[in-house]
Amino acid sequence: MRDCCTPKGGAYDLAVIGAGSAGFSAAITAAEAGARVALIGYGTLGGTCVNVGCVPSKALIRAVEGLHHARTANRFDGIEGEARVTDWAATVAQKQALVDELRAAKYADVLPRHENVDYIEGFARFDDEGRLNVDGAAFTATKIIFATGSRPHVPAISGIEEVDALDSTSALEITALPISLLVLGAGYIGVELAQLFARAGVAVTLVSRRGVLPEAEPEISEALESYLAEEGIRLASVSGYESVARHGGGVRLTGTEGKSFSAERLLLATGRMPNSDGLNLGAAGIETDASGGIVVDAQMRTANPNVWAAGDVTGCDQFVYMAAYGAKIAARNAVAGATRTYDNGTMPWVVFSDPQVAGVGLSEAQARAAGHGVVTSILPLDAVPRALAARDTRGLIKLVAEAGSKRLLGAQILAPEGADSIQTAAMSLKAGLTYEELGDTIMPYLTTVEGLKLAAQTFEKDVAALSCCAG
């Protein structure tokens, strides 16, 4: 680790600001291309995903899945199960041990393997003349990539600062479960955390302005909403949030229609905001959008020809794998003179609810808005043999295709094992397959992914009239 600002022999070829997944991806990519790289980190090494996002949340989600599976074991005749939380603090400690292990293995221990990368701790920003500084000292680098990530959004609600609200970071750190919880926001973070705590035994109310997973296909949102309600999660809709206040040892939320909801704790899941404030970007001619995201072109370049940006700080596609992907493009373009472009047309996404929600490509509404003539196929999960054998038919599969050409445009899956099937749909879109070609593809019997084959055949066939193996 270096504590200086300029390497021996001259300036760095590239300064990467931010030491999360995007920052590491950019630094390693540039170093492999022969560049001398300064990786400048501020805060905990590793960024959002490993420390406070993907890893801890999915570890705890998997933990409470065990509770759910035990409680629903009686769907099989002759089997009963029971499970309960005995020591939530121990569960959280085990989660944290995994976080610490992966931070070391995938971040701290990776740095020494790249001789061209110097890690420097400090806060980087532009001075008023548009020059890069680190902790107030001038820093010399030919090119710069910003990969400073994002943080939980705090909505502008009267009283919000007085109620000690949880967010997606602090909620995963509490060692004592509250009796009741208000979750504000029903996007992917809100849905995942609401179900996590409900399965752990907390009385959860999920409050939203646009419903459950508003960006998903409406059939999937509606079905998931019903499954959450069946698990005891109270679902509430408001047009806006008026105020929050302490109330009877807990917190009360009042909506704009006068509706009020009370619980011991409040959890904010109203999205994330880019970490672009405080960087003095305007001094370097760098533009941001209304949400604070750094504006980049298809090559990840900002309005400043020597500065690129990637990952959550751009406000786009806030997934760790897309951050790493965009950072590689930015690094290659910055140090190797490449002109690679960012393409999210076949980007798969997953919500780790149960059933899981996964999608790729265009929704029906997006396809129509783009001017496509559209045909769709919807297959309920009770038509998929895997779901019947598991005695868990919660879910559906929806495919969107272009009328006439039959080319697949998008897919969304709601299924207990849907996340592991979406990549098949992504590869189908990338290859430009038609639904006929997907329907003719050989897939293993008694798997969830076979549902994609059945859904493709449903465009023109009644799958109930087919024999097994989607023949």
- Band of pLDDT at residue 470, cut at 50, 70 and 90: low
Structure tokens at 418: 């849907």
- 154-209 pLDDT, tens per residue? 999 999 999 999 999 999 999 999 999 999 999 999 999 999 999 999 999 999 99
**pLDDT score for 469:** 63
| Fold adopted by 349-470 | Enolase-like; domain 1 (3.30.390)
Name which CATH class applies to 160-270: alpha beta
- Band of pLDDT at residue 466, cut at 50, 70 and 90: confident
Mean pLDDT of the chain: 95
Section 270-291 average pLDDT = 97
> Rounded to an integer, what distance in angstroms lies between the CA atom of residue 353 and that of residue 270?
17
**pLDDT score for 465:** 77
Q: β-strand 250-255 against 241-247: which pairing, if any?
A: antiparallel
Could you tell me how many residues make up the chain? 471
- 327-384 pLDDT, tens per residue? 999 999 999 998 999 999 999 999 999 999 999 999 999 999 999 999 999 999 999 9
Section 133-141 average pLDDT = 97
- For residue 10, is pLDDT > 60? no
Parse the chain into domains and list their residue ranges.
12-50+93-151+273-336, 160-270, 349-470
Section 268-276 average pLDDT = 97
**pLDDT score for 260:** 95
Domains 160-270 and 349-470 share a fold: no
**pLDDT score for 258:** 87
Q: Which residues are annotated as a binding site for NAD(+)?
A: 185-192, 271
**pLDDT score for 2:** 44
> Residues of the chain with pLDDT > 90: what percent?
94
- 304-319 pLDDT, tens per residue? 999 999 999 999 999 9
- For residue 4, is pLDDT > 90? no
Task: Characterize 412-430 residue by residue with b for buried, 16 or more Cβ atoms within 10 angstroms of its Cβ, and e for exposed.
Answer: bbbbbbbbebbebbbebbe
For the domain with range 12-50+93-151+273-336, which CATH number is right: 1.10.10.10, 3.30.300.30, 3.60.21.10, 3.50.50.60?
Answer: 3.50.50.60
Q: Which residues are annotated as a binding site for FAD?
A: 58, 148-150, 312
CA-closest candidate to residue 17, choices 1, 39, 2, 35: 39
No. of helices (H) and no. of strands (E), the chain: 12, 22
**pLDDT score for 428:** 98
Q: Which helix (H) or strand (E) holds 23?
A: helix 21-32
- Band of pLDDT at residue 464, cut at 50, 70 and 90: confident
CA 180 to chain CA centroid, nearest Å = 25
CA-closest candidate to residue 22, choices 340, 343, 311, 334: 311
> Rounded to an integer, what distance in angstroms lies between the CA atom of residue 388 and that of residue 380?
11
Q: β-strand 137-138 against 260-263: which pairing, if any?
A: unpaired
- For residue 267, is pLDDT > 90? yes
- 442-455 pLDDT, tens per residue? 999 999 999 999 99
Q: Which residues are annotated as a binding site?
A: 58, 148-150, 185-192, 271, 312
Backbone angles phi, psi at 384, to 5 degrees: -105, 120
Q: In sequence order, what DSSP letters do the residues of 205-248 get, joined into one string? A: EEEESS-SSTTS-HHHHHHHHHHHHHTT-EEEE-S-EEEEEEET
> Rounded to an integer, what distance in angstroms lies between the CA atom of residue 131 and that of residue 185?
39
Q: Which helix (H) or strand (E) holds 263?
A: strand 260-263
